[in-house]
A and B are shown apart, each in its own frame.
Chain A
Amino acid sequence: MDIRLSGISHSYDGFEVLRDITLDIPSGKIVCIVGPTGCGKSTLLRLIGGLERPAKGSVLQLGLPAEDCLNPLTYVFQDFALLPWRSVAGNISLVLEDHGMKKSAITEIVNNVLARTKLTEFARALPKQLSGGMKQRVAIARALAVKPAVMLMDEPLSALDSQTRELLMSDLVKLWTQQPFTAVYVTHNLDEAVRMGHSIVVLSRCPGKIREIIHLEKPLAERSYGDGELQFRQKYLWNLMRDEALAADAELVNV
């Protein structure tokens, strides 16, 4: 299933945040969206997943999701959004309980995703007992449980320290290599963008417009920390964004 954004514009109370975004998200690829603060990255993601309605334009699903897919458009949030009163396994089963599945089927899926994210031994732990990295692993496991057609990742690693981020990035790459998934990956971190993205969409400052789309050919599994070519690309991206980031930083917040 592909996603097509055609001519999307959006504004909050007359304040334009996105202008004329047209973009294809091909199946099996990770599309990173980068841009300065307040350029509407997260808004765009909420529009794609149907949590908000665009003022203009439309979001289209092209083709049908796989048959066993329970929730085609699935988010991974920056703040993890785990229920503190449910265990790790309970948080994952939460999103399966509304689909009229047998208890045994739910347990099977939960065990499967816990194994894939290396969380099996934490199944009964409560979120408060977990580190930030572990919490985000749980959130990723929860997203995998519903077999999404497209993962919508909203700064998934931004709340983590850089070492944990590095570990999780390689986990995500491994997961993708085992079973390629489609993802829209919003981040402000250019290093993440060049490591995770098959293509990188650079948005301009408010109102967000597509400034440039960069394609990276190197397979995800071969990209590593401190790779020369990637650093070159990252520098290029930074040069594209620097002036706008500066301007965004100096701007008064419009709230």
Chain B
Amino acid sequence: MSDVEETEIARQVAFRGGGFAPKPYRWIGLAVFVMLISLAELGTQNGFISPLTLPKPSDVFLKFRELYETGLLRKHLEPSLTRLAVGGALGATIGIAVGVLIGLFSYIRAGLVPLVAAIFPIPKIALLPLFVIWFGIDEASKYALIAFGTFTPTVVATYGAVDNVDRNLIRMAQSFGLSWKSIVRKIILPGAMPGILSGLRISLAIAIILLVAAEMLGAEYGIGAYILEAGSLYDLDRLFAGVVMLSLLGVLLSAVIGGIERYVLRWRT
């Protein structure tokens, strides 16, 4: 044995595992934001970036404060948030209901899946004139547009999630003689929840996009109207202030869904 040790070269086995496992680094995301913004600030301060290319972040911040102090922020945010809440809630609720029905009943699936596939790719903004005729120029048409836009991705995510519920659990429930209603309520709905929630993330992002689009096409107040006005005057400070509002809204909604997920899906590993 000692013979071998003397003649053979002993080498450490090289490590080649690891990786492919995302770890949560909380502060890096924030650091990227801070870095980009301070780069933009520095660049615009010393003239490296011309004010026509990018507004000074500090100016955008000042605009934001001004908006808040004059009470305009509230005036624009309030209608936008109402539209988002009403339209999004309407679309998501109907979407989940229809998605569950498609998942449960073959006839409904056969009838509605092609229809949903036909509606999905239509840019919903193109239908705004139609909604204006149907629901009037006021809030109702905006609610309808946002609801319609959230509806389709929610349906698709929901019936996919229902299809993915473990069939073994359903067989188990049947073998214990659970009623159809109990199986839907206690097994299919909780089992589909992860898929439904991740679908909602996408649907609500789409809802924000449609909110802005609807407000650009016809609204006095709202984030979209504000951005449109700033854009047509080439007032980049205000334009960016509006865009920042949208980003914050997106981050906020995503955080809310994340919170719901952590609570509702705490059974998941």
Contacts and interface: CB of A to CB of B under 8 A. Distances in A.
Interface in A58-108: 70-71, 73-75, 77, 79, 81, 83-86, 94-95, 97-98
B187 A83 contact: yes
B190 A74 contact: no
B178 A98 contact: yes
Contacts of B75: none
Interface residues of A, number: 22
B182 A75 contact: no
Contact of B176 (A86, A126, A128, A146): A146
Interface string A193-210: 000000000000000000
A83 B177 contact: no
Interface in A23-52: 49, 51
B172 interface: yes
Interface in B229-269: 265, 267-269
Contacts of B177: 70-71, 98
B190 A83 contact: yes
Given A51-B171, A79-B168, A81-B171, A74 B269 contact: no
Nearest to A75: B175
Contacts of A146: 176
A81 B268 contact: no
A97 B182 CA distance: 9
Secondary structure dominating the interface of A: loop
A74 B269 CA distance: 29
A70 B175 CA distance: 12
Nearest to B265: A85
Interface string A135-152: 000000010001000000
Given A51-B174, A98-B178, A128 B190 contact: no
Of the listed residues B176, B177, B187, the one surrounded by the most CB atoms of chain A closer than 10 A to its CB is B176
A207 to B, nearest CB: 23
A51 B174 CA distance: 8
A32 to B, nearest CB: 20
Interface string A206-223: 000000000000000000
Contacts of B168: 77, 79, 81
Contacts of A95: 176, 178
B32 to A, nearest CB: 34
A98 B179 contact: yes
Contacts of B179: 98
B130 interface: no
Given A94-B186, A126-B267, A128-B267, A81 B178 contact: no
B267 A74 contact: no
B62 interface: no
Interface of B: 168-169, 171-179, 182, 186-187, 190-191, 265, 267-269
Given A71-B175, A94-B178, 9 more contacts: A81-B171, A81-B172, A84-B268, A85-B191, A94-B176, A97-B182, A128-B269, A142-B176, A146-B176
